[in-house]
Structure 1
Amino acid sequence: MNSDPLGPVRHLTTTALDVGYHELGEPGGAPVILLHGFPYDVGSYRDVAPALAARGHRVIVPYLRGHGPTRFLDDAAPRSGQQAALGADVIELLDALDIPRATLAGYDWGGRAACVAAALRPERVSGLVSVNGYLIQDIAASGRPLAPALEAGFWYFFYFLTERGRAGLAAHPREVAEVIWRRNSPEWAFSDDELERVSASFANPDYVDVVIHSYRHRLGAAPGAPGYDALEGLLAASPPIAVPTITLDGMADGNFPATDGTASAAHFTGPRVHRQVPHAGHNLPQEAPDAFAQAVIDVGTLA
């Protein structure tokens, strides 16, 4: 008997990937795609997904490229972790599931994938829930320094620019994740068992390559995969998001301080609500599942 609240792993094929995913709820329910971040996995939604399924939603929780059971179909394909690839994966997931439109909800890498899909393919997105707001990267501005206190929290961005960082991630993926988790979520009392469980998703043979490419590309230190050049060209213009949106900030996020949402307001041209969530860090769906699930429910009511 499978005791995982997400149920068994299923598989589907897109043009690039064999995607491992979980599905909960009735097939005819309003579809919701829940997208995890780095260095995390689908376990971030072990409370959110069943709660949404109980409210009548069809809930899909995929492992992102490079994580868990998700694999590339072509051994020679670039192991890209760039934002255009993540966004394209979401649209291809909808295609493979024959879902015309869905609510997309995520944080970190998953929030970025959702923002990319919502900005570039709004006809496929009925609503968006994004932790930390507008997450489409302005790669041209990646050389601009932040306040030193913020830069310190992004140590791994710069570590991964080096071959020493690649070797360190390959040798110690669990330990790298633990350092990031503690900085990202100082109030989250995660257990060793939870860290061990999520670390199993880092054993994916493409994990290191995808992660390293993601951080090198966003800092302008690595080219994108040629197949995503056109999409990256569109993203370079910081396209607006017109779909109904709820953005969330955790008030205990150690790396991404909570805001009132006004700085990113111009990026959202449709209905948008911003909320601050007390005591939640960067892994907001796991740390504050009720607030995250409520945002998914409420975004469907925005007009």
Structure 2
Amino acid sequence: MASIRDIAKSTGLSISTISRYINSSGYVSKDSAELIQKVIDEMDYVPNRNAQAIFNKKSGSIGLVIPSLVNPFFSEMATIIGNKIQDDGYGCVLCFTEDIPEKEEDALDLLKGYRVDGIIVARGRSVDKIQKLSIPVISFESIISDEIITVSADNYQGGRMAFEHLYEEGCRKMIHIKGPKGFIAPEERCKGFLDASADKDVAVEVLELSTDYLLEEDLDKALNQVDFRMYDGLFVFNDINCIHVISYLRRQGFAIPGDLQVIGFDNSYLSEMNLPRLTTIEQSPQEIAQVSYHCLKDLMDGTCRSTANRIIPVKLIRRDTTGST
């Protein structure tokens, strides 16, 4: 692998001149620059990112911290943000936490060691550690502090939309399958659903799960505790669990939506592929990714004018799991 010394030897120029050219840190004559670039191309030289990070105090990389790629929403979001990062000439350092605070802290330490220029943390739990970061950071869903921008969907309104849609379709005996405690999004979706039900004086049951992407919980065991014959409407807090619940219900002999109308949340790509196609509340991964990345870039560039939280509107996507058959 070629080094700066090899380029200096081949061009007859000093190491300091080569370094100034590579790091854009000082004057290099046009002739010298053309010669250096010619030799770089011939040797297929790639700058040492770690050395550049130490020299420039920047790595040209951005960190992305997410719980998992098992949940399709996070997979889509990570792909969109990763592509934007690379399109702008940055490297992307992707870390997974499985919603375990210790893993998240390790990921943040790793990114600090790499001297990344900015970080996007999805559903962060290490509040104190995130607050102490001295580099630009954007939080998705989790509220960290008034100084750190949080980007999230309007989860409360989404919960209200879910109830209102089921109610408009004639449901009066409803159950909500709620996500795990400790996360803002499932709590807000549940609150919106319950508040909307109270407005209509309709009692709603709630079944709370301990995870949101089916890695640590036997969902069928939890569902076996419920007599779904008592209900005509069901709201599940995300699509991946909703699709599993529909599979369970069909195995139990339920017709969807004939016996039970079902609505999810996310509008991940699985919702369109499922049979029957899933009615759901859309939180757009494209818009969330775009807003999160643009906010981070503004922070990195010093052009951010407000640290107010960004709330992304949601909308109802009507498909086949609600309405008349």
Please give the TM-score of this superposition, normalised by the length of structure 1: 0.38
Q: TM-score, normalised by structure 2?
A: 0.36
